[in-house]
Each structure stands twice: as structure tokens, then as C-alpha cells.
Structure 1
Amino acid sequence: MDSKIETKIINHSSFQKIKTLIKIVSTGLISTAIIWELVNLYGTFHNWQVSKDLNWIFWIDRIALISHGIEALIAAYYTRLQQKNPLQYSIYTFFVGTVGLLELKIGQEGKE
């Protein structure tokens, strides 16, 4: 797909509303995943076990945390190429996910 068409789709007004909703939901879910993992770690240190029925939640949150971590690393790399603060943008991308990478891509296209 042509990059101008992609940018036009991404900048469409309805996409902006969806993007905002994704940012809010993603930040909440990633924060919940971090808390969930911390509770699990605390439980491990204090010898109490979470029900085996909840193991699937741990797998989902670990996958989400790892994938968002990878996105944050990618964002840090590309942000550094744009002479911006990589730490700030990678933390932002960690919490909002792919939307942060899309915003970074649009910023990069505007620079070219």
C-alpha cells in the first residue's frame, strides 16, 4: 500500500477516535498486566499459589508484556534516529502499543 494512502487512512477523523480508545484501553490493560505479574511474584515469594484455572491469564499478560516490550525497543531505535528522546517515547509506546509505532512512522514520513 502506498505510504500516502496509509497516512490518509491513519489521519482520518474516525481513526483518530479509535486510536484514542485503543490508547486508553491498552494503557489500562498493560498496567493491569504489570500489577497481575507483581501479585503473582509476591505470591510466589510468600508461598501461596494462584488457582490453576487462572494460568491462562498469566500467559496472555506475559505475551502482551513481551510484545509491548519489543514494540518499545523498536520505538526507541527509530526515535533515536529522529533525534528525539528514546526513553520517553519507548515508555509511551510500551503502554499504548502499536498505535505509538504508527504515530512514530507518521512523524518519520513528515521529516522526509
Structure 2
Amino acid sequence: MNPTAAKLIKIASILSMTCALGLLGWNLSLHLQGKSLPPNLTFFFWLGIVALFAHGVEGLIAAAKARSYDKNPLRYGIYTFFVGFIGLQELANRGN
């Protein structure tokens, strides 16, 4: 993959995951107060939930595979959670 494209994907992914986590936290805070998200943000909330789930699975896979590449599983799991598939690809390329 083109290094410039990979870097742009990483930046976009980190920003997206941070926004999704923030939206999830905001929604939790609102529910604790007996309120709900504005209707125009509901779609983005559910999109964020799907993205968080997908990145969580990728992070778990990276954590499981990292030890076989002599890498720190926690570090690679968290890194891959935020950057997505690019993190798995980097882990596999560093192992070769």
C-alpha cells in the first residue's frame, strides 16, 4: 500500500474512533440524565458502534498475533484498535 495513503487512512481512522468513543460517552451521559441524543446524530451513533465493534475485533486479532511476532500484545491491540486494518497489515509485514 502507498505509504501516504496508509498515513491518511491512519489519521482518519484515529479521528473516527475518537469521535465514536466521544459520541458513545455522550450518549451514556445523556441516558444517565434521562435524555437522549438529538435525532440527527442517531445514524452517526450507530455507525460509530459498528466501527467500534469492527475495530475491537481487529484489535483482539492483533493482540493475539503480536506475541508470535515478538511484539507487545497490549500495545499492538490498542494501536490496531485505533488505526484498524492498517495495524494488522503492519504487524504482518514486520514479521516477514
Pick from 17, 36, 39 the counterpart of residue 26 of structure 2. Answer: 39
Say what the alpha-carbon RMSD is for the aligned residues.
Answer: 1.0
2:16 corresponding residue in structure 1: 29
2:45 corresponding residue in structure 1: 58
> Structure 1 counterpart of 2:19, which letter?
T
Larger Rg: 1
Query: Would you identify which runs of 4 or more consecutive aligned residues in structure 1 move more than 4 Å?
Result: none
1:49 alignment partner, SS class: coil
- Residues 3-60 of structure 1 show CA distances to partners (whole Å, capped at 9, x for unaligned) of xxxxxxx3xxxx0000011111110110000000000000000111112332211110
| 1:91 is aligned to 2:93 | no
2: CA distance between counterparts of 1:53 and 1:29?
A: 18
> Structure 2 counterpart of 1:39, which letter?
W
Number of residue-to-residue matches in the alignment: 96
- Structure 1's unaligned 5+ residue stretches are 1-9
Identity of aligned residues (%): 39
- Structure 2's unaligned 5+ residue stretches are none
